[in-house]
Amino acid sequence: MPTYDRDFLRLLTDKLNIVDVASSYMHLEKKGGTFWACCPFHHEKTASFHIDENRQFYHCFGCGASGNVIKLVQEMESLDFVDAVKLLAEKANLPLPQASQDGERTAELKRKRDTLLKIMNDCAHFYLDNLNSGKADAHIQYILSRNIPAGAVRAFGLGASLNYYDLPKYLLSKGYSKQDILDSGAVNEVEGKLLDSQGGRLIFPIINALDEVVAFGGRALKKTDFAKYKNTKETLIFNKSRMLYNINRLKKLRRAGGLTEVIMVEGYMDAISLHIGGFKNVVASMGTSLTLEQARLIKRYCGKVLISYDGDGAGQKANMRGLEILKNEGLDVRVVPLPEGLDPDDVIKQLGPEAYRQCLNNALPLIDYKMSVTRKAFDISKPEDKIKYVGEALKIVRSAETSAERELMLKNLRDETGISFEALSRDLSQVPAEKNEQADEKTGLPADTADLKVKASRFVAAAYLFGARYTQDFDIDEVPFANDVHSLIASYVKSKALLGEKITLSEIFDFFEEGTPEYEELCRVLDLNDGENLEGEVPQRYFSDCLRLLKTESIADAIEEVKKQFSATDDVEEKRQTAELLQKLIKQKEKLKNGDIR
């Protein structure tokens, strides 16, 4: 439910042009009176993401994603409704009103989120003060040993946890409740005692795209039975699978126009070292397996990603599924080869930035990287290993997108193994194509099982909503819509006409809650605004057929009801009146049958 009243939301959406907002996230092309882009929410090669500037809404004809400017910012910034409104209100220079009572649960979640963000911000300052207190010798020594200059320490907000007990005491002294402190993830409770969850570690603040501290990473300074690196637990404000370290700087870099590719590394130190070396376009996955949410997050900023993981065998084989996720989201994925046993931090420090730049220049397309990793797993001097290698290699060749690429790979495989091109080609023809889980681009809506009556009602509603010229000849009040969503759309269209106002679809999204059948049906209606669906002679004839069907079905239902009334009464006068009504309805039905739909 909306947290703010409709008047404020209407004012907010009126002050913002969805095209201007969308253009900061994606490349738009104007075609006619609308704008198009490749959808940021699913993999596609042909643009089906449509933005209607006049009606201020977006709709993807591929996956069914739809919404107004608020919904767009929610999706693109990974924000909830309240924070998306807050962000847009700041952009539009509008003060936020008090939350309405019908959004109490949302308002409480906002209060909770704001409190947790304040706690994490206070923690970041606490850790920073510790680092500069003169008591953090071990932390300073570690920073010096890793050659992190003071400027980078300040830029990334590095800090120090001196022990397990000072942070909880500090937060309680600030007036935070015990429960809020625990819910932030900054503090744990062990045997009734509150302890700093990053006790004794060097602190790396994890900052989201809105420049808010949402979590911390901690690096142990001495040998321990615990993990060397440790992240804050997942909370209301931190979801590791949806977060990338340094994403806040990546966002600023893109807005400055300096982002053509993104370098992805594994950890905090790799990201910081590359930043120091002049490679600002870097993010870290923080050791987690790459997720679909992270792939989509990267895609919002750039279409090309360079994977720069450790140069050892484990690092090269790691996360192959994650790389496939990136590729399936439509990203151009390249894998950066590093010297054996070195990570990006090592290359920068031992060999220098130029050596790392050469590594980037030698980045392999994902398919070549997969072949390289597979090749290392076999000793092709042994016949049995050679056969196994060829079998695995052909699976990779089969996944190539073009025949030319497959032919070139087969020739390389021939030269490498000594097996004839003809034999390899025959074996390749027997390899089944891998099923691409994301090959179907139209995955946003479930299969349409609506009956003819609902489909007819849907088309008529769309024709009125998008102002098809032929609808002017018919009174919208006389249309017996078969679905409540269509009826609501008709009421909206009529109210705008009476007020002499233009239809702004962004308002309609306020009437429906995402994920409901009603919202799904709205998306079905919006789908009908694609291309030539609503204009021209054929759509006009189809509109007449749909209108005739709806009216015929409505009259048929009315006839059945009148027949029941006739049979249920013994009153002579009532039977006479009912019979007259029945005759009138039958004549109307015949009139429709003969082609007159008025």
CB burial readout 107-132, b (16+ within 10 A) else e: bebbebbebbbbbbebbbebbbebbe
Say what the pLDDT of residue 443 is. Answer: 45
Lowest mean pLDDT among 3-17, 451-465, 547-561: 3-17
Minimal CA–CA distance to 43: which of 25, 65, 20? Answer: 65
Domain layout of the chain by residue ranges: 6-98, 102-238, 452-593
CA distance 534 to 460: 10
CA distance 294 to 329: 10
Q: Is the pLDDT of residue 439 over 50?
A: no
Say what the pLDDT of residue 435 is. Answer: 55
Mean pLDDT of the chain: 85
**Contact of 318 with 274, CB cutoff 8 Å:** no
Say what the pLDDT of residue 442 is. Answer: 41
Say what the pLDDT of residue 483 is. Answer: 87
Q: What is the pLDDT of residues 256-268, one digit of tens each?
A: 777 889 999 988 9
CATH number of 6-98: 3.90.580.10
CA distance 459 to 6: 28
Per DSSP, the residues of 9-30 read: HHHHHHHS-HHHHHHTTS--EE
Q: What is the mean pLDDT of residues 47-58?
A: 87
Q: Band of the pLDDT at 81, cuts 50, 70, 90?
A: confident
Say what the pLDDT of residue 562 is. Answer: 83
Say what the pLDDT of residue 212 is. Answer: 92
76 φ/ψ angles, rounded to the nearest 5 degrees: -75, -30
Q: What is the pLDDT of residues 173-199, one digit of tens each?
A: 999 999 999 999 999 999 999 999 999
CA distance 75 to 83: 11
Minimal CA–CA distance to 553: which of 593, 518, 581? Answer: 593
- As beta bridge partners, residue 217 has 204, 231
CA 111 to chain centre: 25
Say what the pLDDT of residue 199 is. Answer: 95
Max mean pLDDT range (386-395, 466-475, 484-493, 532-541): 386-395
Say what the pLDDT of residue 1 is. Answer: 40
Q: What is the pLDDT of residues 297-355, one digit of tens each?
A: 888 778 899 999 876 554 455 457 778 888 888 888 999 988 888 889 999 999 999 99
Lowest mean pLDDT among 139-153, 281-295, 304-318: 304-318
Minimal CA–CA distance to 263: which of 368, 350, 338, 152? Answer: 338
Q: Is the pLDDT of residue 125 over 70?
A: yes
Of residues 524 and 313, more confidence is placed in: 524
Tokens of 425: 């080609």
Q: What is the mean pLDDT of residues 238-251?
A: 89
CATH number of 102-238: 3.90.980.10
Lowest mean pLDDT among 235-244, 547-556, 586-595: 586-595
Tell the burial category of 200 from Cβ atoms under 10 Å away from its Cβ (0-12, 13-18, 19+). middle
Tokens of 489: 């759309």
Tokens of 330: 């439509």
